[in-house]
Amino acid sequence: MGYLNNVVGYRDDLLASRSIVRHGNYAILTPDGLVRNSVPGFENCDVTILSTPKIGASFVDYLVTLRQNGGNLQGFGGDGIETFLYVIEGNVTAQAAGKSFHLAQGGYLYATPDEPMTFMNNQPADSKVFLYKRRYSPAGNLTPHIVSGNARQLEHIHYEGMDDVTLVDFLPKDPAFDFNMHILTFEPGASHGYVETHVQEHGAYILSGQGMYNLDNHWVPVKKDDYIFMGAYALQAGYGVGRGEAFSYIYSKDCNRDVE
Ligand code: UGY
Ligand code: MN
């Protein structure tokens, strides 16, 4: 018996992933490669940790599927950590600072660094949320406040004067806030006006459609449910492709602070 009897078929399927990780620079995490993490405080949830300081981000993003009665009742954030929750699918009840919020698809909650948020699935079917946390960067006596609403009620502004690209801002333009969350939407064929090169970082989750994205001068195809990390100074630009749905993503961006 030769050793060849032990050789299994060539696993070319294991060579095929659209995910890319360039530490500190950019990453694309596609749904097929995501793994579940066990994180204290999350019960009956599938938690995937996305960007972290280990990839070069100053924030942490998570994708969480809340199963029946699933959620985090122990408290997410607080002790100097501000948090943001966005409902991708389903219905979630969240609490912060003694207030309760019923969040349907598109619903969101920002909790200040001194107030942990709790949240729970509010329906028998699964709900899916995008979470963000970061250590708040204080500026003088400014204090941010709790913000909640639904993306559907937010104003769509034309991004940098373009007809076919719109932007939504979730948080107020107030220097007390050290980041904002946005949704950027490109009609098929619409694009950024130029290759952005900036110190701010992004964690972006694609909500709909398909696009081509330039990350540090590498063009990559991206689509709904992909996640993109763009580190400080990562070159970035994209355009929507296809004839159907607009290419749209929710993303974070640090703001309103000087650099040390
Ligand atoms: O706000 C932004 O920097 C945004 N336009 N960046 C991006 O979409 N990659
Ligand atoms: Mn940008």
Query: Which residues lie across from 161 on neighbouring strands?
Result: none
What's the chain's length in residues? Answer: 260
SS3 assignment, position 13: helix
For ligand 1, atom 9, name the residue with the nearest CA.
236
Output the domain CATH number for residue 93. Answer: 2.60.120.10
The answer to the question of residue 2 being in a domain is no
* 7 in a structural domain: no
Q: How far is the CA of 44 from the centre of ligand 2 (A)?
A: 34
What is the ipTM metric for this complex? 0.99
107-125 pLDDT per residue, tens:
999 999 999 999 999 999 9
pLDDT score for 230: 98
228/202 Cα distance (integer angstroms): 8
96 in a structural domain:
yes
User: CB of 202 closer than 6 A to ligand 1?
Assistant: yes
84-93 as b/e: b if 16+ CB within 10 A: bbbbbebbbb
- Note the pLDDT of residue 120: 98
The CA-based angle 158-164-169, given to 5 degrees, is 35
The residue whose C-alpha atom lies closest to atom 1 belonging to ligand 1 is: 253
Query: Would residue 71 count as lying in a domain?
Result: yes
Strands 147-150 and 127-135: unpaired
* DSSP label of 142: -
Domain count, the chain: 1
Distance CA 84, CA 61 (A): 9
Residue 45 domain-assigned (yes or no): yes
What integer pLDDT is reported at residue 6 of this predicted model? 66
| Residue 103, domain member (yes or no) | yes
Query: Which residues constitute the domain of residue 99?
Result: 18-254
Query: Is residue 158 in some structural domain?
Result: yes
